[in-house]
A and B are shown apart, each in its own frame.
Chain A
Amino acid sequence: MYDKTVRRRRAVLGLLVVSSLILLTAYFGERSGGALHNVQRGILEVVSPIQEGASRALKPVRDLFGWVGDTVSAKGDLQQTRADRDKWREDAIRNQSAVRDNAQFRGLLNLDKQPKSLQPYAPVTARTIGSSPTLWYVKITIDKGTSSGIHEEMPVIASDGRSDTNTGLIGKVESATGNASVVRLITDSTMAVSARTADGGAAGLVQPSPGNPRDLIMRYVAKDEPIAKGDVVVTAGTVSKRSDLGSVYPPDLPIGRVTRVDEPGAANQLPHLRPFVDLRRVQFVQVLTQKVNGNR
């Protein structure tokens, strides 16, 4: 009797483990239109309305915990904020002078134009209704899908609501169903965004820093390209002349600010960036549903 129980237990355990391994292998082996991916999309289609309802219903609970957490962390943030304020005050004084100079130069060169707007990219606003529960925090689910014109590979921007400057690129649509989409965040190890500094001084490929969701790295920055702490990094857009090598992302979307540069000036210099958006705080996103001029 005991032997039978043990044998049965081992058989069921083995069956479960083997089933998981078969699923893993099959999932890796198939393309994005394969059977398992379709099953996932079907489940997402069913689960997303429930998830959306739960997300709305549980918002007060989230807000309560958010308020408690924010209050606790606010004290720690205060000192840092004061230091930032002092630095930004200096920057603001310097920038005001630069703006005056800039206006004069623009007037001289006839370069006055409207500031770039995202309206031509037809942004669609969506709510976050689900987040990956893992520490790697690589995906979020939003409440709009193909019925709102959202499709795979569309860039997604967001603001974490802490300030006007905490806005920027957060990822791209990985999968879309009728009323929901899954967004792969820039902290995912498979993501890479061609980028440059805002002043155009350095270009490279922004990827997540392995194991640190608040840190991005900019690879392949050439030795002679100047990049320093505090530089703003934006998307480069399409840089190739070939139309089939177009970028998914339009140019000039803010990504983050350089926090340090490993081995500056060396052939393998490696700038680290802090994303403008705290991905854990994103409640609303905008999906850019149109390309303008091939994202050039």
Chain B
Amino acid sequence: MPNVSPQLLLRAAILGVAIVIVQVAAVSQIVLFGTSADLLPLVVAAVGLLCGSLSGATFGFAVGLLVDAALVQTMGLTSLVFIAAGYGAGRLRELRDPQAVVIPMVVGAAATAITTFGYGLMNFMLGIDAPVSFLLLRQILATIVLNALIALPVFAVVRRWLSPALPDDPRRRRRRAYTTGGLSPLSRA
């Protein structure tokens, strides 16, 4: 994990614990359109997008472990699917560096899809009887849509929380330099 400062580590740890408690104690119990929002894949994906693939995967692993421990679930199951979500979001940033405003929305929806389908698949592989029914598919789709709708504010909150500890983004630095007029080749012309 390149450039992971102790401050970033601390902030990510606080974020992870807080989001697991909020999700388990409140958000899971709020039913909207017949389903509940799942903030965890959104936050894991947001950390991946902001900090990179390894940080995203490690954060996903830690959050998954905490969820499994707090809910007395099969240890390692949620970690495994969250690793995929965090790593995937981080690789997208590293390879494509997308700038569109809707990216957190798309990535959030994809992360939710990966985690819900992945969790179901893992359960199935572990011998838990959970064939896909129409209702389950409908609920998964409803969760993905709901998560996509709340992905932008969640991403904004995560970015706001982590940004003081994030290494300065060269792209931001460059943009700031252009706008101040000093280094832009256009301003020199």
Residues in A lying within 8 Å of B, measured CB to CB: 5, 9, 12-13, 16-17, 19-24, 26-28, 36, 39-41, 43-44, 47, 50-52, 54-55, 58, 61-62, 65-66, 68-69, 128-136, 139, 141, 174-175, 182, 189-190, 209-212, 214-215, 280-281
Q: Which residues of B contact A36 (CB under 8 A)?
A: 75
CB pair A40 B72 closer than 8 Å: yes
Q: How far is the CA of A17 from the CA of B60 in the complex (A)?
A: 11
Number of cross-chain contacts by CB at 8 Å:
160
CB pair B131 A12 closer than 8 Å: no
Q: Which residues of B contact A39 (CB under 8 A)?
A: 69
Q: Which of B6-14, B121-129, B163-171, B175-183 contacts A (4 or more CB under 8 A)?
A: B121-129
Q: Given B2, B30, B31, B136, which contacts A212 in the complex, CB threshold below 8 Å?
A: B136
Shortest Cβ distance from residue B84 to the other chain A in the assembled complex, whole angstroms: 9
CB pair B72 A175 closer than 8 Å: yes
Q: How far is the CA of A66 from the CA of B31 in the complex (A)?
A: 7
Q: How far is the CA of A41 from the CA of B24 in the complex (A)?
A: 16
Q: How far is the CA of A264 from the CA of B50 in the complex (A)?
A: 57
Chain A CB within 8 A of B162 CB: no
CB pair B72 A62 closer than 8 Å: no
Q: How far is the CA of A280 from the CA of B133 in the complex (A)?
A: 19
Known: A128-B29, A211-B133; 18 extra A-B contacts, CB below 8 A, are A12-B58, A16-B57, A19-B76, A23-B65, A40-B69, A51-B70, A54-B26, A58-B26, A130-B24, A130-B71, A135-B139, A136-B123, A139-B72, A139-B73, A141-B70, A189-B129, A209-B133, A211-B135
Q: Which residues of A contact B139 (CB under 8 A)?
A: 135
Q: Which residues of B contact A20 (CB under 8 A)?
A: 61, 64, 76-77, 79-80, 83
Residues in B lying within 8 Å of A, measured CB to CB: 1-2, 21-33, 35-36, 38, 40, 53-54, 57-58, 61, 64-77, 79-80, 83, 87, 116, 119, 123, 126, 128-133, 135-136, 139-140, 143
CB pair B26 A62 closer than 8 Å: yes
